[in-house]
Amino acid sequence: MIVTLKKGIKKKEIAVLSEKIKALGCRPYVVKGKDVTIIGVIGEYAKKHKEVFETMDMVEHISEIQKPYKLASREFKKENTVIKINKNVEIGGKRIHVIAGPCAIESEDLMIRTAKMVKDAGATVIRGGAFKPRSSPYAFQGLGEKGLKYIKESGKKLCMPTVSEAMTIEQVNLLSKYCDIIQIGARNIQNYDLLKAAGEQKKPVLLKRGLATTVKELLLSAEYILSRGNSNVMLCERGIRTFEDSTRFTMDLNAIPVLKKLTHLPLILDPSHGIGIREHIGAMAKACVAVGADGLIIEVHPRPEEALSDGPQSLFPSQFKILMEELNLIAKAVDRELLA
């Protein structure tokens, strides 16, 4: 249920109303727009309290949210959410931000060198996996906390925010100490305890769509994070599993305009995983920008043939630099910005 307040309502009055909502066994979510302030009243029995709010002088009108994902829906918030990572990175606005780096953090030297290369090409956020969910138990599983220290140091030296993936509740707390953005990977999209933990800390969350997850299921997973109080959620389309086996996954570009209509949350697209073949990543990255991405996440490695994870889909730094210049042209064509 959405409670729209009259113009000129003071903070003290909003606080009183929020406490009233809590006393009724519901959760209040205050959103201050350009013209109006609304309060989302979330709870299993929120609708039965509708008459209570209708009698209040400060209330302009009340409407119900029809979608099962309440806080993620356009019904709850019509304006696009813009997530501020630092003073230079705001995801969801006019500028398209590119997150880049190696799939896995392999060493301190490689992490810093790769981060410098992608920054020089125009990337604004560093990526790198410290905990790696691999199909084979014998594959490289990541450096753990040591890897997080390496990516944090890289971000500090280059003044760039960082993102890495958490696979467990304990890792959420650990990553919140080292990284600016916490990623929930495709294989954990419906790990609800993990989603709740991500929602109970304050760092922005990059939520990747699962291999066989519908758009509705993706939004409901985001709702778990939002409902715990963390409003800084970015959705990531990274390809879904279909009958097609000529590419790693099938990049579901159809989902982007659909999601843009259904949700106010920023959309990040991952062409590296979406197609999984180095020579085709550039074409898919351009398509991602054209279709409405708010950001891209691209794997880059100085020696992909020696990479401990995802070498075949990692771009050489020289390829990434050329791609960034090409993406900038596409961004301008759709009235967006990419390179500063």
- Asked if residue 256 has pLDDT above 80, the reply is yes
pLDDT in tens, 72-130: 999 999 999 999 999 889 999 999 999 999 999 999 999 999 999 999 999 999 999 99
Q: pTM of the prediction?
A: 0.92
Within-domain flag for 71:
no
> What is the residue-averaged pLDDT of the chain?
94
What is the structure's pLDDT at 276?
A: 97
What is the structure's pLDDT at 50?
A: 84
List the strands of the sheet with 27-32, edge to edge: 27-32, 37-42, 2-5, 59-63
What is the rounded CA–CA span in Å between residue 186 and residue 210? 4
User: Same domain for 38 and 88?
Assistant: no
User: Same domain for 97 and 47?
Assistant: no
Of 274, 230, 89, the closest CA to residue 163 belongs to 89
Q: Which CATH number do you get for residue 48? A: 3.30.70.1140
User: Same domain for 180 and 56?
Assistant: no
User: Same domain for 97 and 52?
Assistant: no
Q: Which CATH number do you get for residue 273? A: 3.20.20.70
What is the rounded CA–CA span in Å between residue 255 and residue 248? 18
User: Same domain for 43 and 105?
Assistant: no
Under DSSP, the state recorded for 23 is H
What is the structure's pLDDT at 7?
A: 86
Q: Poorest-confidence range of 132-146, 179-193, 214-228, 298-312?
A: 132-146
- Asked if residue 33 has pLDDT above 80, the reply is no
**Strand-pair category, 162-166 with 125-127:** parallel
Please tell me the total count of domains within the chain. Answer: 2
**Phi, psi (deg, nearest 5) at residue 283:** -65, -40
Within-domain flag for 116:
yes
User: Same domain for 43 and 146?
Assistant: no
Within-domain flag for 251:
yes
User: Same domain for 50 and 95?
Assistant: no
Higher pLDDT, 32 or 211: 211
- Tokens coding 282: 């550039």
Q: Poorest-confidence range of 22-31, 153-162, 227-236?
A: 22-31
Query: Across the strands, what pairs with 5?
Result: 59
From the CB of residue 133, how many other CB atoms can be counted at a distance below 10 Å? 14
What is the structure's pLDDT at 136?
A: 86
Within-domain flag for 72:
no
Within-domain flag for 109:
yes
**Contact criterion met (CB below 8 Å) for 241 and 219:** no
User: Same domain for 105 and 222?
Assistant: yes
- Asked if residue 314 has pLDDT above 80, the reply is yes
Q: What value does the mean pLDDT take over residues 261-274?
A: 98
Within-domain flag for 77:
no
Query: Across the strands, what pairs with 321?
Result: none
Domain containing 163 equals 83-333
User: Same domain for 26 and 120?
Assistant: no
Q: What value does the mean pLDDT take over residues 262-288?
A: 98
What is the rounded CA–CA span in Å between residue 296 and residue 124? 10
What is the structure's pLDDT at 26?
A: 86
